[in-house]
Structure formats: structure tokens, C-alpha cells
Amino acid sequence: MQNVEQCPKCEISWQQEITITETFISQGKSPTEAARLGKLYGCTPSTPKKFSRNVVGIEVSSQYDGVSYWKCEGCKTYFDRWTMKPVDPKWEVGI
């Protein structure tokens, strides 16, 4: 998500507060198992990662194989993934 940590419009957080490894520990995994699972997501001590929240990635198959738009669950605004500028949610996929 291009390291965007919050909505450009309403500023609601788009990331969990704790790392992926810490999330697994909070769910009862041992530190060793949590580190192993976190690493599957690319979360290591040198590259900490966090799960997303309050944001939905939208794929439009005719445009790109991956997320093309983000929808903020706070303000319901859609953003172009590349420019992070708000877009009309009625693009050609008919949302």
C-alpha cells in the first residue's frame, strides 16, 4: 500500500498498531511460532510489517493484476492506488 498509514481525507489509521508478529503473540502463539508466521508475511525484526485495517483493496481485472483502488472504511472515499487521489466510485466495473 505504498506505505500509506492513514486515509488522505479523513486521516483514520489504515494500519494495526502492532506488528504482524505481535498480533500472532496476542492471539496466543508462542514467540517462536509468531515469528515464523510473521516471516511468512515478510515481517521480521529488520522489516517490521503491520496488518491493514479500515481500508479495502479493489482489483479491476481489466486494468491491472493487483489492487487498483483503495476504499477507506472511515469516510467511504475511493482512492487511485497510484496517485492516492480521490476517484469516482462508479468506474467501469460498476461499483
Q: pLDDT per residue over 15-64, tens digit each? A: 999 999 999 999 999 999 999 999 999 999 999 999 999 999 998 877 67
18 contacts: CB under 8 Å, gap ≥ 6: 26, 50
Please indicate, yes or no, whether residues 28 and 42 belong to a single structural domain of this protein: yes
Q: Do 92 and 57 lie in a common domain?
A: yes
* Same domain for 35 and 7: no
Say whether both 59 and 22 belong to one domain: no
For residue 90, name the pLDDT band (cuts at 50, 70, 90): confident
Which of the four pLDDT bands, split at 50, 70 and 90, describes residue 91? low
Check whether residue 62 and residue 74 sit in a common domain. Answer: yes
Claim to verify: residue 37 and residue 3 sit in the same structural domain: no
Same domain, 22 and 12: no
Whats the size of the chain, residue-wise? 95
Q: How many CB atoms lie within 10 A of CB 68?
A: 19
Domain that residue 46 falls in: 17-51
Instruction: Look at the chain and report how many structural domains it folds into.
Output: 2
Q: Looking at the structure, do residues 85 and 63 belong to the same domain, yes or no?
A: yes
CA distance 44 to 58: 27
- With beta carbons less than 8 A apart as the criterion, state whether 7 and 56 touch: no
